[in-house]
Amino acid sequence: MRFIPNFKGFDFFPHDLRLPFMRYRDLATILSIIAMAISLGLFLVRGLNYGVDFIGGSMIEAQSKSGPADIAALREQLSKIGLGGMQIQQFGAPTDVLIRIEQQPGGDEAQQVALKKVIDTIGDKFTQRRVEVVGPAVSSELRFTGILAVAAGMLAITIYVWFRFEWQFAAGVIVSLVHDVLVTVGLFSLFQLEFDLSIVAALLTILGYSVNDSVVVSDRIRENLRKYKRMEISELLNLSINETLSRTILTGITGIVVLLALYIFGGEVIRNFNFAMLFGVLIGTYSSIFIAAPMISYFGVPREGGLAEERPKKAAARKTA
Amino acid sequence: MFYFSRWKIVGIVVTLLAGVLVALPNLFSESTVATWPRWLPRAQMPLGLDLQGGAHILLGMDSNDLRKQWLESLRDDARKTLVNDAKIPASVTIRGNAVAVRLTRPEQADAAMRELRKIQTSIGSPLAGSLGNDVDITRGENGIITITPTEAGFQQRQTNAASAAIETINRRINALGTAESTVVRQGRDRILVQYPGLQDTASLKKLLGETAVLSFHEVNTQLSVEDVRQQGRPPAGWRIFPSDEAGGPAYLLRETPVVRGDELVDAQPGFDQQNNQPIITFRFNQQGARKFGRFTQEHVGQPFAIVLDDKVLSAPVIQTAILGGTGQISGNFTVDSANTLAVQLRSGALPVKLTVVEERTVGAALGSDSISAAKTAGIVGGIATMVLTIFAYGTFGIFACFGLLVHLVLTVALMTLVGSTLTLPGIAGLVLGVAMAVDANVLIYERIREELRNGKPAISGIDAGFNRAFVTIADSQLTTLACAVLMFWLGAGPIRGFAVTLTFGIVTSIFASVTVVRLLVWLWVRAQPQTRSLEVPV
Please say if the pLDDT value at position B432 is more than 80: no
In a domain, A8, yes or no: no
Query: Residue A268 sits in a domain of what CATH number?
Result: 1.20.1640.10
Closest chain B residue by Cα to residue A268: B370
- Predicted local distance difference test score (pLDDT) of residue A314: 46
Q: What is the pLDDT of residues B74-132, one digit of tens each?
A: 888 888 888 888 888 888 889 889 999 999 888 888 888 888 888 888 776 666 666 77
Amino acid at A184: T
Residues A159 and A298 grouped into a single domain: yes
Lowest mean pLDDT among A1-15, A284-298, B300-314: A1-15
Residues A44 and A128 grouped into a single domain: no
| Boundary (domain end) residue, out of A67, A99, A134 | A134
| Any A CB within 8 A of B203 CB | no
In a domain, A317, yes or no: no
Please say if the pLDDT value at position B211 is more than 90: no
In a domain, A68, yes or no: yes
Please say if the pLDDT value at position A304 is more than 70: no
Measured CA distances, B532 to A9, A185, B165, B394 (Å): 22, 57, 77, 21
Coil, strand or helix at A270: coil
Residues 90-149 of chain A whose Cβ lies under 8 A from any Cβ of chain B: 107-109, 111-112, 115-116, 119, 127-135, 137-138, 142, 145, 148-149
Pair B291, B259: CB distance under 8 Å? yes
Residues A150 and A296 grouped into a single domain: yes
Q: What is the mean pLDDT of residues B482-507?
A: 81
Q: Which residue has the higher pLDDT, B200 or B114?
A: B114
- Predicted local distance difference test score (pLDDT) of residue B534: 78
Please say if the pLDDT value at position B426 is more than 50: yes
Residues 324-363 of chain B whose Cβ lies under 8 A from any Cβ of chain A: 355-363
Domains held by chain A: number:
2
Pair A146, A111: CB distance under 8 Å? no
Strand runs labelled E in B246-347:
251-254, 259-260, 264-271, 278-284, 304-308, 311-314, 326-330
Minimal Cβ distance to B487: which of A204, A251, A270: A204
Domain range spanning residue A76? Answer: 57-134
Residues A162 and A263 grouped into a single domain: yes
| Any B CB within 8 A of A225 CB | no
Q: What is the pLDDT of residues A44-87, one digit of tens each?
A: 999 999 999 999 999 999 999 888 988 898 888 888 887 878 88
Lowest mean pLDDT among A266-275, B346-355, B520-529: B346-355
Q: Do B366 and A161 touch (CB under 8 A)?
A: no
In a domain, A185, yes or no: yes
Single pTM value for the model: 0.80
Residues A44 and A74 grouped into a single domain: no
Rounded distance between C-alpha atoms, residue A101 and residue A124, angstroms: 19
Please say if the pLDDT value at position B310 is more than 50: yes
Q: Do A253 and B538 touch (CB under 8 A)?
A: no
Residues A123 and A144 grouped into a single domain: no
Residue numbers in B near A118 (CB within 8 A): none
Residue numbers in A near B205 (CB within 8 A): 112
Taking alpha carbons only, the member of B401, B370, B408 closest to residue B387 is B401
Question: What is the average pLDDT value for chain A, to the nearest integer?
Answer: 87
Per-residue confidence band for A315, with pLDDT thresholds at 50, 70 and 90: very low
Residue numbers in B near A132 (CB within 8 A): 359-361
Q: What is the mean pLDDT of residues B210-234?
A: 83
Residues A285 and A166 grouped into a single domain: yes
Residues A39 and A69 grouped into a single domain: no
Q: Do B443 and A216 touch (CB under 8 A)?
A: yes
Q: What is the pLDDT of residues B21-66, one digit of tens each?
A: 999 998 888 888 888 888 888 888 888 888 888 899 999 998 888 8
Per-residue confidence band for A309, with pLDDT thresholds at 50, 70 and 90: very low
Using N-to-C axis directions, what is the helix angle for B364-418 and B493-509, rounded to 10°? 40
Please say if the pLDDT value at position A311 is more than 70: no
In a domain, A174, yes or no: yes
- Predicted local distance difference test score (pLDDT) of residue A308: 40
Would the ipTM clear 0.90, i.e. be above it?
no
Q: Which residue has the higher pLDDT, B32 or B331?
A: B32
Residues A92 and A227 grouped into a single domain: no
Domains in chain B with CATH codes = 6-53+365-527 (1.20.1640.10), 63-155 (3.30.1360), 213-346 (3.30.1360.200)
Q: What is the pLDDT of residues A205-247, one digit of tens each?
A: 888 889 888 989 999 998 999 999 888 888 999 999 999 999 9
In a domain, A4, yes or no: no
Per-residue confidence band for A266, with pLDDT thresholds at 50, 70 and 90: confident
Residue numbers in B near A116 (CB within 8 A): 202
| Boundary (domain end) residue, out of A134, A165, A198 | A134
Q: What is the pLDDT of residues A123-150, one digit of tens each?
A: 888 988 899 999 998 999 889 988 888 8
Residues A150 and A222 grouped into a single domain: yes
| Any A CB within 8 A of B386 CB | no
Residues A28 and A159 grouped into a single domain: yes
Longest dimension (CA), chain B: 115
Lowest mean pLDDT among B185-194, B309-318, B524-533: B524-533
Rounded distance between C-alpha atoms, residue A102 and residue A85, angstroms: 5
Q: What is the pLDDT of residues B146-184, one digit of tens each?
A: 999 988 889 888 888 898 889 888 888 877 765 678 899
Lowest mean pLDDT among B160-169, B230-239, B503-512, B529-538: B529-538
In a domain, A147, yes or no: yes
Pair B58, B186: CB distance under 8 Å? yes
Q: Do A4 and B398 touch (CB under 8 A)?
A: yes
Q: Alpha helices, DSSP H only, in chain A?
A: 25-45, 52-55, 71-79, 107-122, 136-164, 167-191, 197-227, 233-265, 271-287, 293-299, 307-320
Q: What percent of chain B has pLDDT over 70?
A: 96
Q: Residue B251 pairs with which residues in a beta bridge?
A: B241
Substitution target from A134, A228, A270, A285 for chain B, most B beta carbons within 10 A: A270
Residues A75 and A38 grouped into a single domain: no
Q: Which residue has the higher pLDDT, B3 or A283?
A: A283
Measured CA distances, B351 to A113, B35, B509 (Å): 23, 45, 49
Residues 487-506 of chain B whose Cβ lies under 8 A from any Cβ of chain A: 487, 490-495, 498-499, 502
Q: Which residue has the higher pLDDT, B19 or B257?
A: B19
| Boundary (domain end) residue, out of A104, A134, A164 | A134
In a domain, A312, yes or no: no
Query: Residue A116 sits in a domain of what CATH number?
Result: 3.30.70.3400
